[in-house]
Chains A and B, each alone.
Chain A
Protein backbone atom coordinates (compact mmCIF):
# COMPACT_ATOMS: atom_id res chain seq x y z
CA UNK A 1 0.00 0.00 0.00
CA UNK A 2 2.70 2.42 1.01
CA UNK A 3 4.82 1.36 -1.89
CA UNK A 4 2.00 1.92 -4.33
CA UNK A 5 1.50 5.42 -2.96
CA UNK A 6 5.12 6.05 -3.42
CA UNK A 7 5.17 4.91 -7.03
CA UNK A 8 2.33 7.27 -7.74
CA UNK A 9 4.19 10.14 -6.18
CA UNK A 10 7.28 9.30 -8.14
CA UNK A 11 5.30 9.18 -11.34
CA UNK A 12 3.66 12.47 -10.54
CA UNK A 13 6.83 14.33 -9.73
CA UNK A 14 9.02 13.07 -12.53
CA UNK A 15 7.26 10.71 -14.87
CA UNK A 16 10.03 9.98 -17.32
CA UNK A 17 12.65 9.40 -14.69
CA UNK A 18 10.41 7.19 -12.59
CA UNK A 19 9.56 4.98 -15.55
CA UNK A 20 13.11 4.77 -16.76
CA UNK A 21 14.46 3.86 -13.38
CA UNK A 22 11.86 1.23 -12.61
CA UNK A 23 12.08 -0.37 -16.01
CA UNK A 24 15.68 -1.23 -15.36
CA UNK A 25 15.09 -2.69 -11.94
CA UNK A 26 12.48 -5.02 -13.47
CA UNK A 27 14.24 -6.00 -16.65
CA UNK A 28 17.93 -5.85 -15.85
CA UNK A 29 18.31 -7.57 -12.51
CA UNK A 30 21.98 -8.26 -13.09
CA UNK A 31 22.78 -4.60 -13.47
CA UNK A 32 23.85 -2.73 -10.40
CA UNK A 33 21.82 0.17 -9.14
CA UNK A 34 23.11 2.75 -6.67
CA UNK A 35 20.81 5.45 -5.32
CA UNK A 36 22.19 8.69 -3.89
CA UNK A 37 19.83 10.79 -1.76
CA UNK A 38 20.85 14.22 -0.62
CA UNK A 39 19.91 17.37 1.26
CA UNK A 40 21.67 20.70 1.82
CA UNK A 41 21.17 23.86 3.90
CA UNK A 42 18.48 22.30 6.06
CA UNK A 43 19.27 25.05 8.62
CA UNK A 44 17.67 23.43 11.67
CA UNK A 45 14.30 23.07 9.96
CA UNK A 46 12.95 20.19 12.02
CA UNK A 47 9.25 20.83 11.50
CA UNK A 48 7.49 21.66 8.22
CA UNK A 49 7.13 25.35 7.37
CA UNK A 50 3.92 26.87 8.67
CA UNK A 51 0.73 27.36 6.65
CA UNK A 52 1.44 31.09 6.45
CA UNK A 53 4.91 30.79 4.98
CA UNK A 54 4.88 33.23 2.06
CA UNK A 55 6.84 31.01 -0.33
CA UNK A 56 6.67 27.34 0.65
CA UNK A 57 3.73 26.80 3.01
CA UNK A 58 3.47 23.36 4.64
CA UNK A 59 6.61 22.04 2.96
CA UNK A 60 9.55 20.20 4.50
CA UNK A 61 9.79 18.40 7.85
CA UNK A 62 12.22 15.75 9.04
CA UNK A 63 9.51 13.20 9.92
CA UNK A 64 8.23 13.24 6.34
CA UNK A 65 11.76 13.01 4.99
CA UNK A 66 12.22 9.92 7.18
CA UNK A 67 9.21 8.24 5.54
CA UNK A 68 10.50 9.00 2.07
CA UNK A 69 14.03 7.80 2.78
CA UNK A 70 12.70 4.61 4.33
CA UNK A 71 10.56 3.91 1.27
CA UNK A 72 13.44 4.48 -1.11
CA UNK A 73 15.77 2.30 0.96
CA UNK A 74 13.16 -0.46 0.95
CA UNK A 75 13.03 -0.20 -2.82
CA UNK A 76 16.83 -0.10 -3.19
CA UNK A 77 18.98 -1.02 -0.18
CA UNK A 78 22.05 0.19 -2.08
CA UNK A 79 21.37 3.77 -1.13
CA UNK A 80 23.56 6.49 0.34
CA UNK A 81 22.08 9.49 2.18
CA UNK A 82 24.31 12.58 2.19
CA UNK A 83 24.14 16.21 3.32
CA UNK A 84 26.10 19.13 1.89
CA UNK A 85 26.31 21.32 5.00
CA UNK A 86 24.62 24.15 6.89
CA UNK A 87 22.81 21.71 9.07
CA UNK A 88 22.81 24.34 11.82
CA UNK A 89 21.12 27.71 12.35
CA UNK A 90 17.78 28.96 11.20
CA UNK A 91 15.20 28.03 13.84
CA UNK A 92 15.15 28.26 17.65
CA UNK A 93 15.86 24.51 17.76
CA UNK A 94 19.47 25.40 17.07
CA UNK A 95 19.56 28.29 19.52
CA UNK A 96 18.07 26.12 22.26
CA UNK A 97 19.78 22.79 21.75
CA UNK A 98 22.93 23.78 19.86
CA UNK A 99 22.48 21.25 17.05
CA UNK A 100 21.86 18.20 19.22
CA UNK A 101 18.44 17.48 17.74
CA UNK A 102 19.65 18.02 14.14
CA UNK A 103 22.45 15.45 14.58
CA UNK A 104 20.27 12.97 16.47
CA UNK A 105 17.59 13.08 13.80
CA UNK A 106 20.09 12.73 10.96
CA UNK A 107 21.45 9.69 12.79
CA UNK A 108 17.95 8.23 13.07
CA UNK A 109 17.47 8.76 9.34
CA UNK A 110 20.79 6.91 8.91
CA UNK A 111 22.66 9.61 7.07
CA UNK A 112 25.94 8.17 5.79
CA UNK A 113 27.94 11.41 5.70
CA UNK A 114 27.81 15.19 5.71
CA UNK A 115 30.22 17.97 4.90
CA UNK A 116 30.50 21.22 6.85
CA UNK A 117 28.88 24.51 5.88
CA UNK A 118 29.81 27.95 7.18
CA UNK A 119 26.85 28.04 9.58
CA UNK A 120 27.98 24.81 11.18
CA UNK A 121 30.64 27.00 12.82
CA UNK A 122 28.05 29.38 14.32
CA UNK A 123 28.64 28.12 17.85
CA UNK A 124 32.36 27.97 17.26
CA UNK A 125 34.62 24.95 16.96
CA UNK A 126 33.79 23.97 20.53
CA UNK A 127 30.04 24.21 19.82
CA UNK A 128 30.44 21.87 16.85
CA UNK A 129 32.75 19.48 18.66
CA UNK A 130 30.41 19.18 21.64
CA UNK A 131 27.56 18.05 19.35
CA UNK A 132 29.59 15.54 17.34
CA UNK A 133 28.96 12.66 19.79
CA UNK A 134 25.28 12.89 18.74
CA UNK A 135 26.17 12.21 15.10
CA UNK A 136 26.34 8.58 14.02
CA UNK A 137 27.55 9.56 10.57
CA UNK A 138 30.85 10.83 9.20
CA UNK A 139 31.90 14.41 8.68
CA UNK A 140 33.85 14.62 5.46
CA UNK A 141 35.94 17.71 4.89
CA UNK A 142 38.91 17.74 2.53
CA UNK A 143 39.86 21.42 2.30
CA UNK A 144 39.57 22.59 5.90
CA UNK A 145 42.79 21.87 7.76
CA UNK A 146 41.77 21.50 11.40
CA UNK A 147 45.17 20.27 12.59
CA UNK A 148 45.77 23.33 14.81
CA UNK A 149 42.27 23.20 16.27
CA UNK A 150 40.22 21.11 18.67
CA UNK A 151 38.49 19.55 15.65
CA UNK A 152 41.70 17.78 14.67
CA UNK A 153 40.91 14.12 13.93
CA UNK A 154 37.13 14.61 14.07
CA UNK A 155 36.61 14.80 10.31
CA UNK A 156 37.84 12.69 7.39
CA UNK A 157 39.23 14.02 4.09
CA UNK A 158 37.34 11.27 2.28
CA UNK A 159 35.33 8.09 2.88
CA UNK A 160 34.60 5.07 0.76
CA UNK A 161 31.40 3.06 0.88
CA UNK A 162 30.83 -0.39 -0.60
CA UNK A 163 27.31 -0.99 -1.90
CA UNK A 164 26.50 -4.16 -3.87
CA UNK A 165 30.17 -4.50 -4.79
CA UNK A 166 30.31 -0.93 -6.08
CA UNK A 167 32.95 1.23 -4.39
CA UNK A 168 31.81 4.81 -3.87
CA UNK A 169 34.30 7.48 -2.83
CA UNK A 170 33.08 10.69 -1.19
CA UNK A 171 35.10 13.80 -0.43
CA UNK A 172 34.01 17.23 0.77
CA UNK A 173 34.87 20.85 0.03
CA UNK A 174 33.80 23.89 2.06
CA UNK A 175 33.54 27.59 1.35
CA UNK A 176 36.22 30.11 2.43
CA UNK A 177 35.32 31.09 5.99
CA UNK A 178 37.16 34.40 6.14
CA UNK A 179 34.69 37.27 5.80
CA UNK A 180 31.77 34.88 6.14
CA UNK A 181 32.28 33.60 9.67
CA UNK A 182 33.66 35.50 12.64
CA UNK A 183 37.31 34.48 13.03
CA UNK A 184 36.85 33.79 16.73
CA UNK A 185 34.50 30.97 15.73
CA UNK A 186 36.74 29.07 13.29
CA UNK A 187 40.06 30.08 14.91
CA UNK A 188 43.04 28.44 13.19
CA UNK A 189 41.08 26.42 10.65
CA UNK A 190 42.97 26.68 7.37
CA UNK A 191 41.09 26.93 4.11
CA UNK A 192 42.79 25.07 1.27
CA UNK A 193 42.18 25.63 -2.44
CA UNK A 194 39.17 23.52 -3.49
CA UNK A 195 40.40 22.75 -7.02
CA UNK A 196 43.83 21.60 -5.81
CA UNK A 197 42.26 19.51 -3.07
CA UNK A 198 39.65 18.03 -5.41
CA UNK A 199 42.41 17.09 -7.84
CA UNK A 200 44.28 15.33 -5.05
CA UNK A 201 41.15 13.63 -3.68
CA UNK A 202 40.03 12.31 -7.06
CA UNK A 203 43.55 10.93 -7.67
CA UNK A 204 43.41 9.08 -4.35
CA UNK A 205 39.84 7.87 -4.80
CA UNK A 206 40.15 6.85 -8.44
CA UNK A 207 43.73 5.58 -8.67
CA UNK A 208 44.63 4.40 -5.17
CA UNK A 209 41.23 3.45 -3.81
CA UNK A 210 39.91 2.26 -7.20
CA UNK A 211 36.47 3.75 -6.63
CA UNK A 212 33.77 3.10 -9.22
CA UNK A 213 31.93 6.30 -8.38
CA UNK A 214 33.31 9.56 -7.00
CA UNK A 215 31.02 12.06 -5.29
CA UNK A 216 32.00 15.53 -4.12
CA UNK A 217 29.97 17.00 -1.27
CA UNK A 218 30.35 20.74 -1.67
CA UNK A 219 29.40 23.81 0.30
CA UNK A 220 31.07 26.16 -2.18
CA UNK A 221 27.86 27.42 -3.79
CA UNK A 222 26.39 26.68 -7.19
CA UNK A 223 27.58 29.64 -9.25
CA UNK A 224 28.52 33.32 -8.71
CA UNK A 225 28.16 36.55 -10.67
CA UNK A 226 31.85 37.09 -10.05
CA UNK A 227 32.83 34.34 -12.44
CA UNK A 228 36.24 33.70 -10.93
CA UNK A 229 34.85 32.87 -7.47
CA UNK A 230 35.09 29.12 -7.04
CA UNK A 231 31.73 27.37 -7.30
CA UNK A 232 30.36 23.93 -8.11
CA UNK A 233 30.04 24.88 -11.76
CA UNK A 234 33.70 25.91 -11.90
CA UNK A 235 34.88 22.95 -9.86
CA UNK A 236 33.09 20.56 -12.24
CA UNK A 237 34.86 21.98 -15.28
CA UNK A 238 38.31 22.33 -13.66
CA UNK A 239 38.63 18.74 -12.38
CA UNK A 240 38.28 15.17 -13.62
CA UNK A 241 36.97 11.85 -12.32
CA UNK A 242 34.08 13.36 -10.35
CA UNK A 243 30.75 11.78 -11.24
CA UNK A 244 28.52 13.94 -9.08
CA UNK A 245 28.83 17.18 -7.14
CA UNK A 246 26.19 17.60 -4.46
CA UNK A 247 26.14 21.29 -3.63
CA UNK A 248 24.86 23.75 -1.05
CA UNK A 249 25.37 27.26 0.34
CA UNK A 250 23.63 29.32 -2.37
CA UNK A 251 20.19 27.77 -1.62
CA UNK A 252 19.84 27.05 -5.34
CA UNK A 253 16.65 25.21 -6.24
CA UNK A 254 17.55 22.99 -9.21
CA UNK A 255 14.60 20.93 -10.40
CA UNK A 256 17.05 18.55 -12.07
CA UNK A 257 20.83 18.17 -12.03
CA UNK A 258 22.98 20.31 -14.30
CA UNK A 259 25.24 18.37 -16.67
CA UNK A 260 28.67 19.87 -17.31
CA UNK A 261 31.86 18.70 -19.02
CA UNK A 262 34.98 18.12 -16.95
CA UNK A 263 38.64 18.67 -17.93
CA UNK A 264 38.54 15.52 -20.05
CA UNK A 265 35.24 16.34 -21.70
CA UNK A 266 33.36 13.78 -19.63
CA UNK A 267 30.01 14.51 -18.07
CA UNK A 268 29.69 15.66 -14.45
CA UNK A 269 26.40 16.11 -12.66
CA UNK A 270 25.89 19.04 -10.30
CA UNK A 271 22.83 19.04 -8.10
CA UNK A 272 21.45 21.17 -5.25
CA UNK A 273 18.01 21.10 -3.68
CA UNK A 274 17.47 24.61 -2.34
CA UNK A 275 17.20 24.67 1.44
CA UNK A 276 15.23 23.90 4.64
CA UNK A 277 14.61 20.26 3.71
CA UNK A 278 11.84 21.21 1.28
CA UNK A 279 13.13 18.69 -1.25
CA UNK A 280 15.13 15.50 -1.31
CA UNK A 281 17.57 15.10 -4.19
CA UNK A 282 17.75 11.69 -5.83
CA UNK A 283 20.36 10.45 -8.29
CA UNK A 284 20.32 6.86 -9.57
CA UNK A 285 23.41 5.29 -11.08
CA UNK A 286 23.06 2.11 -13.14
CA UNK A 287 26.36 0.31 -13.60
CA UNK A 288 27.33 -2.57 -15.86
CA UNK A 289 28.93 -5.80 -14.69
CA UNK A 290 32.38 -4.26 -14.49
CA UNK A 291 30.97 -1.44 -12.35
CA UNK A 292 31.65 0.98 -15.15
CA UNK A 293 29.82 4.09 -15.93
CA UNK A 294 31.58 5.25 -19.02
CA UNK A 295 30.73 8.91 -18.76
CA UNK A 296 31.52 9.72 -22.37
CA UNK A 297 28.75 7.45 -23.58
CA UNK A 298 26.53 7.59 -20.59
CA UNK A 299 22.92 8.43 -21.11
CA UNK A 300 21.73 10.81 -18.47
CA UNK A 301 17.98 10.87 -18.23
CA UNK A 302 17.01 13.96 -16.34
Chain B
Protein backbone atom coordinates (compact mmCIF):
# COMPACT_ATOMS: atom_id res chain seq x y z
CA UNK B 1 0.00 0.00 0.00
CA UNK B 2 2.68 2.44 1.08
CA UNK B 3 4.94 1.34 -1.73
CA UNK B 4 2.17 1.70 -4.31
CA UNK B 5 1.43 5.19 -3.12
CA UNK B 6 5.08 6.06 -3.40
CA UNK B 7 5.32 4.71 -6.97
CA UNK B 8 2.33 6.77 -8.05
CA UNK B 9 3.93 9.74 -6.42
CA UNK B 10 7.15 9.17 -8.38
CA UNK B 11 5.21 8.91 -11.61
CA UNK B 12 3.43 12.15 -10.85
CA UNK B 13 6.75 13.75 -9.97
CA UNK B 14 8.30 12.91 -13.31
CA UNK B 15 5.29 14.35 -15.13
CA UNK B 16 5.35 17.54 -13.14
CA UNK B 17 9.11 17.77 -13.53
CA UNK B 18 8.83 17.88 -17.34
CA UNK B 19 6.19 20.52 -17.18
CA UNK B 20 8.24 22.61 -14.78
CA UNK B 21 11.39 22.44 -16.88
CA UNK B 22 9.70 24.31 -19.66
CA UNK B 23 8.45 26.84 -17.19
CA UNK B 24 11.85 27.38 -15.58
CA UNK B 25 13.64 28.48 -18.73
CA UNK B 26 11.39 31.51 -18.95
CA UNK B 27 11.46 32.26 -15.25
CA UNK B 28 14.81 31.77 -13.54
CA UNK B 29 13.60 31.06 -10.06
CA UNK B 30 10.85 29.76 -7.89
CA UNK B 31 9.73 30.07 -4.34
CA UNK B 32 7.40 27.68 -2.57
CA UNK B 33 5.92 28.08 0.88
CA UNK B 34 3.72 26.14 3.24
CA UNK B 35 3.23 25.15 6.82
CA UNK B 36 3.71 21.70 8.28
CA UNK B 37 1.53 20.45 11.13
CA UNK B 38 3.42 19.26 14.16
CA UNK B 39 1.06 16.47 15.15
CA UNK B 40 1.19 12.92 16.42
CA UNK B 41 2.05 11.51 12.99
CA UNK B 42 5.57 12.87 13.59
CA UNK B 43 7.51 10.66 16.01
CA UNK B 44 9.22 12.43 18.88
CA UNK B 45 13.01 12.63 18.76
CA UNK B 46 14.04 10.35 21.62
CA UNK B 47 17.21 12.29 22.47
CA UNK B 48 15.22 15.50 22.88
CA UNK B 49 12.56 13.70 24.90
CA UNK B 50 15.22 12.30 27.24
CA UNK B 51 16.70 15.76 27.65
CA UNK B 52 13.35 17.27 28.63
CA UNK B 53 12.44 14.47 31.04
CA UNK B 54 14.35 15.52 34.19
CA UNK B 55 13.04 19.07 33.83
CA UNK B 56 9.50 17.74 33.43
CA UNK B 57 9.80 15.45 36.44
CA UNK B 58 11.08 18.20 38.71
CA UNK B 59 8.42 20.58 37.41
CA UNK B 60 5.58 18.12 37.84
CA UNK B 61 6.73 17.03 41.30
CA UNK B 62 6.81 20.63 42.43
CA UNK B 63 3.58 21.61 40.69
CA UNK B 64 1.61 18.59 41.84
CA UNK B 65 2.69 18.20 45.45
CA UNK B 66 -0.29 18.88 47.69
CA UNK B 67 -0.22 22.21 49.55
CA UNK B 68 -3.74 22.34 50.96
CA UNK B 69 -7.18 20.76 50.75
CA UNK B 70 -10.19 22.36 49.12
CA UNK B 71 -13.48 21.09 50.63
CA UNK B 72 -15.79 22.34 47.82
CA UNK B 73 -15.71 23.33 44.17
CA UNK B 74 -14.96 27.02 43.78
CA UNK B 75 -15.88 29.05 40.71
CA UNK B 76 -15.77 32.76 40.05
CA UNK B 77 -19.38 32.57 38.83
CA UNK B 78 -20.89 31.20 42.06
CA UNK B 79 -22.41 34.36 43.50
CA UNK B 80 -23.72 37.65 42.22
CA UNK B 81 -21.67 40.53 43.64
CA UNK B 82 -19.25 38.54 45.75
CA UNK B 83 -18.03 35.00 45.28
CA UNK B 84 -16.24 32.59 47.59
CA UNK B 85 -13.29 32.36 45.20
CA UNK B 86 -13.06 36.11 44.60
CA UNK B 87 -13.28 36.83 48.34
CA UNK B 88 -10.52 34.35 49.06
CA UNK B 89 -8.31 35.92 46.39
CA UNK B 90 -8.81 39.50 47.60
CA UNK B 91 -8.40 38.48 51.26
CA UNK B 92 -5.20 36.58 50.59
CA UNK B 93 -3.71 39.57 48.77
CA UNK B 94 -4.49 41.70 51.83
CA UNK B 95 -3.05 39.08 54.16
CA UNK B 96 0.12 38.45 52.14
CA UNK B 97 0.87 41.96 50.90
CA UNK B 98 0.04 44.07 53.95
CA UNK B 99 3.00 42.94 56.13
CA UNK B 100 5.45 43.72 53.30
CA UNK B 101 3.83 47.08 52.56
CA UNK B 102 3.67 48.03 56.26
CA UNK B 103 7.28 47.13 56.94
CA UNK B 104 8.43 49.22 53.98
CA UNK B 105 6.22 52.29 54.36
CA UNK B 106 4.75 52.25 57.87
CA UNK B 107 1.27 52.46 56.33
CA UNK B 108 -1.53 49.92 56.11
CA UNK B 109 -3.38 48.73 53.02
CA UNK B 110 -6.98 49.97 53.29
CA UNK B 111 -8.48 47.75 50.64
CA UNK B 112 -7.80 45.33 47.80
CA UNK B 113 -9.39 45.52 44.36
CA UNK B 114 -8.91 42.84 41.71
CA UNK B 115 -10.90 42.07 38.58
CA UNK B 116 -13.20 39.12 38.06
CA UNK B 117 -11.71 38.47 34.61
CA UNK B 118 -8.28 38.07 36.19
CA UNK B 119 -9.33 34.84 37.90
CA UNK B 120 -8.43 32.45 35.12
CA UNK B 121 -9.89 29.20 36.48
CA UNK B 122 -11.87 27.64 39.29
CA UNK B 123 -10.55 25.34 42.02
CA UNK B 124 -11.91 21.82 42.09
CA UNK B 125 -12.70 20.01 45.33
CA UNK B 126 -9.71 18.06 46.60
CA UNK B 127 -5.98 18.59 46.64
CA UNK B 128 -4.68 22.10 46.03
CA UNK B 129 -1.23 22.36 44.46
CA UNK B 130 1.11 24.95 42.98
CA UNK B 131 -0.41 24.03 39.63
CA UNK B 132 -3.70 25.36 40.99
CA UNK B 133 -1.91 28.67 41.54
CA UNK B 134 -0.61 28.69 37.97
CA UNK B 135 -4.09 27.93 36.66
CA UNK B 136 -5.71 30.69 38.71
CA UNK B 137 -3.02 33.16 37.70
CA UNK B 138 -0.94 32.15 34.66
CA UNK B 139 0.44 35.66 34.13
CA UNK B 140 3.37 37.36 35.78
CA UNK B 141 1.37 40.24 37.25
CA UNK B 142 2.66 41.79 40.45
CA UNK B 143 0.83 43.24 43.42
CA UNK B 144 1.17 47.02 43.63
CA UNK B 145 -0.24 49.49 46.15
CA UNK B 146 -1.55 52.88 45.07
CA UNK B 147 -2.24 55.86 47.29
CA UNK B 148 -5.29 57.59 45.82
CA UNK B 149 -7.61 60.42 46.88
CA UNK B 150 -11.06 59.88 48.37
CA UNK B 151 -12.43 61.39 45.16
CA UNK B 152 -10.76 58.67 43.12
CA UNK B 153 -12.21 56.16 45.58
CA UNK B 154 -15.68 57.51 44.74
CA UNK B 155 -14.85 57.06 41.05
CA UNK B 156 -14.07 53.46 41.91
CA UNK B 157 -17.50 53.11 43.53
CA UNK B 158 -19.14 54.55 40.38
CA UNK B 159 -17.11 52.12 38.30
CA UNK B 160 -18.40 49.21 40.40
CA UNK B 161 -21.99 50.51 40.09
CA UNK B 162 -21.57 50.37 36.31
CA UNK B 163 -19.77 47.01 36.27
CA UNK B 164 -22.51 45.25 38.29
CA UNK B 165 -20.24 42.26 38.74
CA UNK B 166 -18.24 40.47 41.41
CA UNK B 167 -14.88 42.18 41.11
CA UNK B 168 -13.03 40.80 44.13
CA UNK B 169 -12.66 43.27 47.02
CA UNK B 170 -11.31 43.13 50.55
CA UNK B 171 -11.47 45.87 53.18
CA UNK B 172 -14.34 47.59 51.36
CA UNK B 173 -17.99 46.95 52.22
CA UNK B 174 -20.56 47.89 49.66
CA UNK B 175 -24.35 47.88 49.77
CA UNK B 176 -26.27 48.73 46.61
CA UNK B 177 -29.97 49.01 45.84
CA UNK B 178 -31.95 47.17 43.18
CA UNK B 179 -30.57 49.55 40.51
CA UNK B 180 -27.00 49.01 41.74
CA UNK B 181 -26.89 52.54 43.20
CA UNK B 182 -24.70 52.68 46.27
CA UNK B 183 -26.45 52.77 49.64
CA UNK B 184 -23.23 52.64 51.64
CA UNK B 185 -19.52 52.23 50.90
CA UNK B 186 -17.31 51.69 53.93
CA UNK B 187 -13.56 51.26 54.22
CA UNK B 188 -12.61 49.39 57.35
CA UNK B 189 -16.03 50.31 58.79
CA UNK B 190 -15.97 54.03 57.94
CA UNK B 191 -17.54 55.83 55.00
CA UNK B 192 -15.21 57.11 52.28
CA UNK B 193 -14.14 60.71 52.86
CA UNK B 194 -13.25 62.71 49.72
CA UNK B 195 -10.53 64.68 51.53
CA UNK B 196 -8.72 61.57 52.82
CA UNK B 197 -6.27 59.40 50.88
CA UNK B 198 -6.41 55.61 50.74
CA UNK B 199 -3.98 52.77 50.09
CA UNK B 200 -5.40 50.30 47.57
CA UNK B 201 -3.63 47.05 46.69
CA UNK B 202 -4.24 45.77 43.18
CA UNK B 203 -2.35 44.19 40.27
CA UNK B 204 0.05 46.13 38.07
CA UNK B 205 -2.22 45.26 35.15
CA UNK B 206 -5.21 47.04 36.68
CA UNK B 207 -3.08 49.89 37.99
CA UNK B 208 -1.98 50.63 34.44
CA UNK B 209 -5.61 51.02 33.40
CA UNK B 210 -6.49 47.40 32.63
CA UNK B 211 -10.23 46.65 32.57
CA UNK B 212 -10.73 50.43 32.30
CA UNK B 213 -9.94 51.04 35.96
CA UNK B 214 -8.64 54.52 35.12
CA UNK B 215 -8.97 55.72 38.73
CA UNK B 216 -5.87 53.67 39.55
CA UNK B 217 -3.75 55.42 36.93
CA UNK B 218 -1.59 58.38 37.99
CA UNK B 219 -1.95 57.83 41.75
CA UNK B 220 -0.48 60.15 44.39
CA UNK B 221 2.03 57.39 45.11
CA UNK B 222 2.71 54.03 43.55
CA UNK B 223 4.42 51.34 45.63
CA UNK B 224 5.80 48.25 43.95
CA UNK B 225 6.23 45.48 46.48
CA UNK B 226 7.94 43.00 44.08
CA UNK B 227 5.47 40.25 44.87
CA UNK B 228 3.77 38.29 42.14
CA UNK B 229 0.07 37.67 42.51
CA UNK B 230 0.66 33.99 41.78
CA UNK B 231 3.30 33.74 44.47
CA UNK B 232 0.94 35.33 46.98
CA UNK B 233 -1.68 32.69 46.06
CA UNK B 234 0.80 29.82 46.39
CA UNK B 235 2.18 31.21 49.67
CA UNK B 236 -1.37 31.33 51.00
CA UNK B 237 -1.96 27.71 49.98
CA UNK B 238 1.23 26.73 51.81
CA UNK B 239 0.07 28.54 54.94
CA UNK B 240 -3.39 26.99 55.31
CA UNK B 241 -4.36 23.31 55.69
CA UNK B 242 -7.83 23.74 54.29
CA UNK B 243 -9.07 26.51 52.02
CA UNK B 244 -11.67 28.69 53.70
CA UNK B 245 -13.72 30.48 51.11
CA UNK B 246 -17.26 31.72 51.40
CA UNK B 247 -19.73 34.24 50.08
CA UNK B 248 -20.38 36.96 52.70
CA UNK B 249 -21.87 40.44 53.04
CA UNK B 250 -18.97 42.54 51.75
CA UNK B 251 -20.74 43.43 48.51
CA UNK B 252 -24.47 42.91 48.44
CA UNK B 253 -27.61 44.14 46.77
CA UNK B 254 -30.60 45.09 48.92
CA UNK B 255 -33.79 44.69 46.92
A298-B49 in contact (CB<8A): no
B31-A300 in contact (CB<8A): yes
A101-B34 in contact (CB<8A): no
B33-A297 in contact (CB<8A): no
| A17 in the interface (beta carbon within 8 A) | yes
Do A7 and B38 contact each other (CB < 8 Å), given the known contacts A24-B30, A62-B48, A96-B62? no
B27-A92 in contact (CB<8A): no
Do A4 and B30 contact each other (CB < 8 Å), given the known contacts A278-B37, A279-B35? no
B52-A101 in contact (CB<8A): yes
Q: Within the assembled complex, what's the spacing in Å between the Cα atoms of A298 and B47?
A: 40
Do A58 and B32 contact each other (CB < 8 Å), given the known contacts A19-B12, A101-B55, A297-B27? no
Do A58 and B59 contact each other (CB < 8 Å), given the known contacts A20-B32, A24-B30, A287-B29? no
B24-A62 in contact (CB<8A): no
| B140 in the interface (beta carbon within 8 A) | yes
The 8 A CB mask of B64-90 against A (1 = contact, 0 = none) is 000000000000000000000000000
Residue among B52, B55, B140 making CB contact with A63, cutoff 8 Å:
B52
| B40 in the interface (beta carbon within 8 A) | yes
The 8 A CB mask of B240-251 against A (1 = contact, 0 = none) is 000000000000
**What residue of chain B has the Cβ atom nearest to residue A12's Cβ?**
B41
Closest CB-CB distance, B147 to chain A, in whole Å?
Answer: 19
Residue among A8, A64, A256 making CB contact with B2, cutoff 8 Å:
A8
| B193 in the interface (beta carbon within 8 A) | no
Q: Within the assembled complex, what's the spacing in Å between the Cα atoms of A269 and B204?
A: 39
* Complex interface residues of chain B between 5 and 57 (CB less than 8 A to chain A): 5-6, 9, 12-14, 16-17, 20-21, 23-24, 26-49, 51-52, 55-56
A60-B31 in contact (CB<8A): no
| B180 in the interface (beta carbon within 8 A) | no
B30-A300 in contact (CB<8A): yes
Cβ–Cβ < 8 Å partners of A68 in chain B: 36, 38, 42
From B26, B32, B224, residue with most partner A Cβ within 10 Å: B32
B13-A23 in contact (CB<8A): yes
Q: Within the assembled complex, what's the spacing in Å between the Cα atoms of A49 and B131?
A: 16
Do A288 and B33 contact each other (CB < 8 Å), given the known contacts A58-B40, A92-B63, A279-B38? no
Closest CB-CB distance, A296 to chain B, in whole Å?
Answer: 10
Cβ–Cβ < 8 Å partners of B223 in chain A: none
A302-B34 in contact (CB<8A): yes
From B14, B23, B37, residue with most partner A Cβ within 10 Å: B37
The 8 A CB mask of A244-280 against B (1 = contact, 0 = none) is 0000000000111100000000000101010001111
Q: Within the assembled complex, what's the spacing in Å between the Cα atoms of A182 and B203?
A: 12
Cβ–Cβ < 8 Å partners of B227 in chain A: none
B34-A14 in contact (CB<8A): yes
- For chain A, give the interface size range: 35 or more
B44-A67 in contact (CB<8A): yes
Do A300 and B40 contact each other (CB < 8 Å), given the known contacts A27-B17, A122-B140? no
Cβ–Cβ < 8 Å partners of A154 in chain B: none
Cβ–Cβ < 8 Å partners of B28 in chain A: 288, 292-294, 297
Residue among A11, A65, A104 making CB contact with B9, cutoff 8 Å:
A11
Residue among B34, B62, B63, B230 making CB contact with A17, cutoff 8 Å:
B34
Cβ–Cβ < 8 Å partners of B62 in chain A: 96
* Complex interface residues of chain A between 92 and 114 (CB less than 8 A to chain B): 92-93, 95-97, 101, 104-105, 108-109
**What residue of chain A has the Cβ atom nearest to residue B19's Cβ?**
A23
| A70 in the interface (beta carbon within 8 A) | yes
A58-B204 in contact (CB<8A): no
Cβ–Cβ < 8 Å partners of A277 in chain B: 38
| A177 in the interface (beta carbon within 8 A) | no
* Complex interface residues of chain B between 111 and 138 (CB less than 8 A to chain A): 131, 134
Q: Within the assembled complex, what's the spacing in Å between the Cα atoms of A61 and B39?
A: 8
A7-B6 in contact (CB<8A): yes
| A206 in the interface (beta carbon within 8 A) | no
A282-B35 in contact (CB<8A): yes
Q: Can you list 17 A-B pairs, Cβ within 8 angstroms, ordered by A?
A: A20-B16, A20-B32, A23-B17, A26-B17, A27-B21, A28-B24, A31-B24, A64-B44, A67-B42, A67-B43, A92-B134, A97-B55, A284-B32, A288-B29, A294-B28, A301-B30, A302-B32
Which A positions have Cβ atoms within 8 angstroms of B? 4, 7-11, 13-14, 17, 19-24, 26-28, 31, 46-48, 58-68, 70, 89, 92-93, 95-97, 101, 104-105, 108-109, 122, 182, 184, 243, 254-257, 269, 271, 273, 277-288, 292-294, 297-302
A-B contacts besides A66-B47, A279-B35, 15 pairs, CB < 8 Å: A7-B9, A8-B6, A11-B9, A23-B13, A28-B21, A48-B38, A58-B40, A64-B39, A67-B45, A256-B35, A271-B35, A278-B37, A288-B29, A300-B33, A301-B30
Ranked nearest first, the 6 interchain pairs of A and B with the lowest CB-CB distance are A63-B44, A66-B45, A23-B17, A293-B29, A257-B33, A288-B28
